Every structure is written in C-alpha cells, then in structure tokens.
Amino acid sequence: MSKKPLTQANKKQQKKLKELCAATMRSLTSDSTLHYRGDNIYQNAKPLAMQAVHLQQHVNNIQVNDLAVLRGHVDAISLRILHSDSELQRQLQPQTPIAKLVFEMLEQFRVESLAPETMPGMQKNIDYAFQHWCNNFYQSGLTESKLGMMLYTLALVCRSRIMAKPIPHAFEDLIEMCRADITPVIGHALAQLRKQRESQPAFSPYGLNIAELMANVIDYQPKSPDESNEDSEEKQQTLRAFSILLEFDDIEESIMAAAISGESKVLHQSSQGYQIFSRIYDQEVFAATLVRKALLEEYRQKLDLQINHQGINVKRLAKQLQHVLGVPQTNGWQFGVEEGYIDGRRLSQLISSPNERRLFTIHQQKIQPDCIVDFLIDCSGSMKQHTAAITLIVDIMIRALDIAGVTTEVLGFTTNAWNGGRIYKDWCKQGRPKHPGRLNETCHMIFKDAETPWRRSKTNIAALMKTDLFREGIDGEAVEWACQRMLKRSESRRILIIISDGCPMDTSTNLANDKFYLDNHLKEIVSKYQSTVDIMALGVGLDLSPYYQKNIAMDLSETIENQLFFDIVAMLAAR
C-alpha cells in the first residue's frame, strides 16, 4: 500500500501520538527505557517487533478518529512486555510462515487475557482494537479465499477460548462452516489454552501444536511444483493481507539492524589498557590540501546542484536550531516599560503626569547560542557509496547552524594505508610481539575548523566527496581527538555528532589483537567524555546504539527529506 505524503500538521500530530504511546507504555510497564525511535518501539537499544497480526497497524496509519484503536494497541503491547519472555518465544518459534503467524497470534491473545480486573478500561480498549482489525480484514474481501477464511476463523475461535468471551455476533454466521472444519483438528490443544494461559512455558506447547496442525492442514508451500502460480500468488497475497496489508515476514527486516558488539579479552586483560604500537606515521591534515583545487570546485558545483534539487528549507532549519541550542543572554536595557526596575531619570514624569506608568526598565534578553557542534565523519572504505548523501547532509546542517550563530567544525578520520601500512612492516621487523595494540597509521582530517564560517569553507567541505581518501577506521581515537579539540573551546555546550556506517575496523589491528579490540576502546572513550561532551551519532543504514545512547539510524537509499533534519534537531534538543 503506497503511503500518502504527510503534511507538517500530520507529522506533528504523529510525533505527539508516539510520545503519548511511549509515555503510556512506560507507565504501565514501569520500564523507563521504552521509547520511539523513528517508526519503531525500542526497549533500551533493542527494537521491539510486534508480530501479532492484529497489532501491526502502526501509529503512522492511525487517524484522529481511530484513537481508541491506538489505545488498544498500546495496552496490548504493554501486556506483551510485562507477561511474555521474548527470548523463550524466539527459541520456540516455528519456521514456516503460517505456523509462525499462528504461534505469535496465540501468544498475544494469551497476554491480552491477563489484563488486570482492576483496569476494565484496558480490556475494553484491547477488545475494541481487535474488533476493528476483524472489520478491516472482512472488508478487504480476503475471507472469500479458503486460506483467508481459515486463518480468520482460527483467530476468532482461539481468542474466544483464551479470553473466555463469545465470538462477536456479527462474525458468528460468517465463520460457522469453517469453524466446524478446524475445531475437531485442534480441539484437544484448544481446550488447554485457557487453563495454561498464566504460564508461558506451559501454554507454549499447546500453542505450538495448534500452529503446526494448521500449517499441515493448509499445507502451504511458497512454490510447490504441483501448485499453479495463480494459487501460490493468492496464498501469498492472503498471508500479506492477513497482517492488514503489511509484509509479515518483513517486519523484523524493516527495523534497522544494530551494530554487532562483543567483549575484547585482549583489552580487558591488559594492565596498560589500550595500546598504540607507534604514532610516528600518524597525521593530522586539512583535507582540502589533499585534493586539487579544480577538482574541489567541481565537487562543490555538483553538491550545489544536489542541494537545489532537494528543496530543503535551510532558513526554517536554522530557526529551529537557534531555538533548541540558544540560551537567553542579557543584551542591554529596555526602557519605558510598565514594570521592572524604577528608572530614576523618569521620576519627574510621575509628578508631571501622575497617570504615566512607563517609568521602569528591564534587562533586554536575546536568545544566543553558546555551543559548538562538531561533525566527525567515518571515512572508511564502506562509506564511499554514501559520500554524496553524507556531504549533502553535513553541508546543509553546517549552513543552517552558521545562520543560527552556532560554531561548527567538520572533521573526518581514516588511515593512511590499508592493512597496517608502514607500522605493520615495523611490527614484523621487530618479530611480531604479541598484542601490539593499534597497528595502522591514523589520518585525522579537518574539512572545516571552528574559526572559518560556512561561506568561506564550503568548497573545502566538498573534499568529503574525494573517495580516494577513504580507507579504514579507528573510531575511538578519532572521537577522543574531536572531544579534545572541543574541550579547548570556551563554549558552554559541546556537541559531537559522529556519522558512521558500522563498527571500528582495521584489519591489521584486529588480526594482531582480537576483533573487538577497537570496538571496546570506542566504548571506553565515549564513556570517558560523555559527561563533558554531548556525543551523538547518525548511523548510515545501521543502529549505533551499542556505542552511542543518542543516535538516529538513517536510510540513505531514499530521498533525503526535511524530516531527517527535523529528527536531528529533536536529537539535539534532548539534553
């Protein structure tokens, strides 16, 4: 189903709904880590995939007159968090599409039946949301197919048994014939569902039995040799629509993957901590000096064309940034006001004009940003394909921050060589001592420094499009370098935004130590500086939660729109 473009008012309304949903779930579950990130619910850094078919109508599709449905979804999800062990569910989950769908559906019905009697409104909300789903499915016409009718009947029958409530009168006649066919097949397991509903381990075997029985009855094969393409297509369409026109098998895939992290035994067992074999070849350089001037001009022209085609409202973005980053500062005095400090120079007016009240003066306040924002870009080889989009995002943000009066820097990090370069050769000459630590030449690049405004540095920023500079990435040292630069500044607030598409990666260092050596060092550095620097991240196609508490996962395969910049502003606003 294609999504209609949202107006700004709709976006604000949906943002508010998400905030209310998250607040309600936190209240019901006593879990303060629940929050929305983009379109998904997260528990700490872990996304929650609600795979029960009747809960997949997302908040983005809920209209104002459907708020009762949204309330039912929030209550149902909260009960799932409270009463279901997601790890156990994952271990027991069958692999075939229909069995998986049924098993998830039954587990959700189980937790919904545990709504406390002291909260009658919760059960009312959940029942209303389920009936809304039933009506939508029936109106879609999918009950006309055999597969659709069987799954629909199973949902109504099992929920009725688990909840100990009659099937809604409007659907009784519709499912009567199909109900007579499937009840004898699942009868024994069905009878146990209500009895075992308070224990997930006791309930799961019966739920799994029903799921496998239904899969065998339907005998669904995605592409059976003796099944016509038309029949196969109809079954797949029914499965998709059974989850209200959402791809059931793609729910988990729609959530951005998280960076994979682990524990470095070498780093933790070392008495000296993180080691660097040699700094002799390390380099800090202005990136523009590594690119021919004519080529820089060409990159800048391409970037300007891309920005013009995007239609991003930079002035509006600048106002939002000034609002969230600005602090009130005294800017002289305002005279002739009706309250404040008495202005001695106007006391004579009190005698000559007793009704005159504008005898006071007050401090004049002006919103003025007092912060520095640094962008630190991962210039590793895997980022080459994203350089155009990243350069566009950075350039627009720097321009808007410059208009807002915020000091900015654009930094980058890579290595001077692949696979260790000269340091690796020196290590080999010394007999390859064990656990040498970082084993490559770092290259820290400055695309724009804090003293240079955007207008004078915009050509230098285009050096980001020079992909020949991109090699490997040692993130921890780069983050520390950027933080130390910011701590030398006088601004009261320091914000570091890292743009990366993955974990720290240097082949020679990983082979000589272990694969999480650089990974764990990055975590240590972030923990060390996060009290003095507000560290955030923009993940390119990846959720960077294992490293950065504040982060946004960006999908750069689609057109960059205003919403991405609004999300960045919202992240900056969170103190």
Q: If you write DSSP's letter for every residue of 381-407 in order, what string do you get?
A: GGGGGGHHHHHHHHHHHHHHHHHTT-E
Residue 415 in this model has a pLDDT that exceeds 90: yes
User: What are the phi and psi torsion angles at 145 (to 5°)?
Assistant: -90, 155
pLDDT at position 243, please? 46
CA dist., res. 565 & res. 311, Å (int): 12
Q: Chain centroid to CA 338: how far?
A: 49
Over residues 512-525, mean pLDDT: 93
- Give me the sign of the Cα torsion angle 425, 426, 431, 432: negative
pLDDT tens for residues 60-100?
455 545 778 888 889 999 999 999 998 888 888 887 878 88
Interaxial angle between packed helices 387-403 and 314-325, expressed in degrees from 0 to 180 and rounded to the nearest 10: 60
Mean pLDDT, all residues of the chain: 84
Biggest alpha carbon–alpha carbon distance for the chain = 105
Interaxial angle between packed helices 314-325 and 562-573, expressed in degrees from 0 to 180 and rounded to the nearest 10: 10
Q: Are strands 371-378 and 407-415 parallel, antiparallel or unpaired?
A: parallel
Give the total residue count for the chain: 575
pLDDT at position 298, please? 95
pLDDT tens for residues 210-220?
988 888 877 64
Reported confidence tier of residue 6, pLDDT bands at 50, 70, 90: low
Query: Which of 477, 464, 468, 466 has the alpha carbon at shortest distance from 509?
Result: 477
CA dist., res. 80 & res. 187, Å (int): 26
pLDDT at position 256, please? 62
Structure tokens at 542: 């990846």
Query: Which of 411, 488, 473 has the alpha carbon at shortest distance from 446?
Result: 411
CA dist., res. 206 & res. 158, Å (int): 12
- CA-based R_g, the chain, Å: 30
pLDDT at position 181, please? 86
Lowest mean pLDDT among 48-52, 91-95, 491-495: 48-52
- Give me the sign of the Cα torsion angle 25, 30, 35, 40: negative
CA dist., res. 194 & res. 276, Å (int): 62
Can you give 261-330 as a three-state secondary structure string?
CCCCHHHHHCCCCCCECCCCCCEEEEHHHHCCHHHHHHHHHHHHHHHHHHCCCHHHHHHHHHHHHEEEEE
Residue 222 in this model has a pLDDT that exceeds 60: no
Output 466 or 245, whichever has higher pLDDT.
Answer: 466
Residue 247 in this model has a pLDDT that exceeds 50: no
Lowest mean pLDDT among 16-25, 258-267, 335-344: 335-344
Structure tokens at 396: 């627009």
* Contact status, residue 264 vs residue 514, Cβ threshold 8 Å: yes
Reported confidence tier of residue 234, pLDDT bands at 50, 70, 90: low
* Contact status, residue 516 vs residue 262, Cβ threshold 8 Å: yes
pLDDT at position 67, please? 79
Classified as helix, coil or strand, 530 is coil
- Give me the sign of the Cα torsion angle 481, 487, 490, 494: positive
CA dist., res. 249 & res. 391, Å (int): 34
DSSP string of 492-513, one letter each residue: SEEEEEEEESSS-B-HHHHHHS
Query: Which of 222, 278, 243 has the alpha carbon at shortest distance from 104?
Result: 243
Reported confidence tier of residue 169, pLDDT bands at 50, 70, 90: confident
- Give me the sign of the Cα torsion angle 319, 548, 521, 378: negative
> 471 pairs with which residues across the strands?
380
Residue 36 in this model has a pLDDT that exceeds 90: no
Residue that the structure tokens 């905030």 belong to: 19
Structure tokens at 548: 């950065």
Task: Sketch the domain layout of the chain as residue ranges.
Answer: 8-254, 277-321+369-573, 332-366
Over residues 221-243, mean pLDDT: 52
Residue 459 in this model has a pLDDT that exceeds 90: yes
Strand order in the sheet with 34-37: 34-37, 40-43, 46-48
Q: Chain centroid to CA 43: how far?
A: 11
Query: Which of 461, 317, 495, 328 has the alpha carbon at shortest distance from 401?
Result: 317
pLDDT at position 239, please? 55
pLDDT at position 354, please? 74
Give the whole-number percent of the chain exceeding pLDDT 70: 86
Residue 414 in this model has a pLDDT that exceeds 90: yes
pLDDT tens for residues 283-337?
999 999 999 999 999 999 999 998 888 878 899 999 999 888 887 665 667 766 7
Please give the class, per CATH, of domain 277-321+369-573: alpha beta
Residue that the structure tokens 């820089």 belong to: 296
Output 421 or 35, whichever has higher pLDDT.
Answer: 421
* Contact status, residue 264 vs residue 274, Cβ threshold 8 Å: no
198 Cβ contact partners less than 8 Å away, ≥ 6 residues apart: 114
Which amino acid is present at 418? Answer: W
Residue 2 in this model has a pLDDT that exceeds 70: no
Task: For residue 445, count CB atoms less than 10 angstroms from its CB and return exposed for 0-12, middle for 13-18, buried for 19 or more.
Answer: buried
